[in-house]
Amino acid sequence: MANILVVEDDKDLNNAYCIILSNEGHTVSSAFDGQEALEKVKTFEPQLILLDLLMPIMGGLEFLQHFDLKSHKKVKVLIFTNMENSPEVAEAYKLGAHRCIIKSWTAPHNLARVIKEAIENDSAEVTA
Amino acid sequence: MIHRLPEEKIQISAEQAQAQSEALFNSIGDGAITTDEFGKITRINPVGLKILGYAEKDLIGEWFPKKIIALNERDESINLIDRPITRAFLTGQPVSEKMHYRKKNGDILPVSISISPILFGGKPIGAIEVFRDITIEEEIDRMKSEFISLASHQLRTPLSAIKTYSHMLVDGYMGETTTAQKKSLRTIIAATNRMNELISTLLNITRIESGTIAVSPKNIHLYRACDEVIKELNLAANEKSISLTLKKKGAATTTVKTDNLIIKEVITNLVSNAIKYTSEDGHIEVSVQGKTNDVVFSVRDNGWGIPKESHSQVFTKFFRAQNTVKRETTGTGLGLYLVQGLLERLGGKIWFESEEGVGTIFYVSLPRNSPTLRSIK
């Protein structure tokens, strides 16, 4: 089980992911934009961040630029977006994202499975 | 009795015609260039000079294909044989196209051109090209595409919430639900899936048309990619009792350097189509074969087939064959248009054989190395 930070601006989706992941036994915290997420990581110490890309105030890409995954090697970032096959997703990979998941295609049990795999698999395998 | 015009009058008429032609040519609102039968520039109007940034003396007498540099969407020079002027001379037919021209100062600008051979006695004695700077049109197109892309994304967010919460109810996150409630929830999920498919198609098409789809080639096994797609679509095939099989032909490797997401989109579309247009208890076979310079895969079904009179329209936007429309199968007529557009970006090709009532086989060939294409965005 892991500390997971859910960064998603849509309140309904944010709430849903928190319920799903808590049900799986994870400790979950939520943020609604990149800036809030940067504040949360200072105290919450997540092993995994579920990150939306398009958000107000600070989007996912800007968050990744500030967070700098190279200096947080134990943290994995899963991009959770509806912007499939977009330049933004390619940019997120360049900034160190572990995997990209398309929100509208992913059922809760698949989300739970992907997160379990990401936590268990310490090699930084990158698949879309 | 035939009256001959005096020599002087003929001379005046010819001069008048020449003056009229000159005035007409110079008042064309777009750029206009004429050439002789060898492709040497004979005239260019003031708008043409302004668009290209040349003075008249720079161009008159010069060989058109050498002086007016045409580039494709990757900013590579277009071969002489593929230049519209060559095709117009060879076929004797007008050619219209969009491309890029390099200006005198090196700047590149998008143009829409239309070139017609000037025929005398059935033989080309020259050509006239009318061209227009379409920078503003392209910018508007790009803005429109960005708007659609953003709008599509915004549509998906509430859909994701509907789907996620429906799944959570089915999976018991909110307590037990009855069988009838589960059935209704699954109908909601299926409807959101259909809506998502539509949005995906719309997004991909706008990206292709605006050039904002990026190709990031990586080494992948095409056989494995087909296998993954088939596993995802097996459920849909099972629902119609259709057997869906995968074969590898020959011993050669099926490794290609291509964009994993885009090629999976292509395979998914072709296999989904085969499932959609094949009756219950049908058969679909996907086979993959590595060749020297490319890898070919095919999707064969024993479905309804495409009527012969519709073969030429299969890859056009919104096309749906009459025999499919009559059966009321859901579809937008965008899938194959999208597939062809995606394959063009990967440097691949698609073709098919089909007979109504017998079945269809689509072939796709992919080069071992797809070109890397940056998105314009």
Domain extents in chain A: 3-120
Q: What is the pLDDT of residue B329?
A: 56
Q: Does domain A3-120 correspond to CATH entry 3.40.50.1100? A: no
Q: Could you read off the pLDDT of B80-121 as tens digits, one per residue?
A: 888 999 989 888 889 998 999 999 999 999 999 999 999 888
pLDDT at B240 over 50: yes
Closest CA to B27 of B11, B45, B39: B45
- Give the chain A residue nearest B189 (alpha carbons): A107
For range B29-54, the mean pLDDT:
94
Per-residue pLDDT of chain A (128 residues; tens, 9 = 90+): 899 999 999 999 999 999 999 999 999 999 999 999 999 999 998 999 999 998 999 999 999 999 988 888 889 999 988 876 677 888 898 898 988 887 877 788 888 888 888 888 754 433 33
Q: Which of the pair, B376 or B262, is modelled with greater confidence?
A: B262
Q: Which of the pair, B298 or B214, is modelled with greater confidence?
A: B298
Core vs surface per residue A78-100: b (16+ CB within 10 A) or e? bbbbbbbbbbbbbebeebbbbbb
Q: Is ipTM > 0.85 here?
A: no
Give the pTM: 0.58
Closest Cα in chain B, distance from residue A80 (Å): 11
Alpha-carbon distance of B195 to A1, in angstroms, equals: 35
**Lowest mean pLDDT, pick from A20-24, B154-158, B306-310:** B154-158
**Interface touch B165/A12, C-beta < 8 Å:** yes
Residues of B in contact with A23 (CB under 8 A): 173
- Give the chain A residue nearest B259 (alpha carbons): A85
Query: What is the phi/psi pair of residue A123, to 5°?
Result: -75, 135
Mutation test of the interface with chain B: which of A6, A9, A17, A82, choosing the one with the most B Cβ atoms within 10 A? A82
Tell me how crowded residue B179 is: count the other CB atoms within 10 A of its CB. 7
Q: Does any CB of chain A come closer than 8 Å to the CB of residue B191?
A: no
β-sheet bridge partners, residue B109: B101
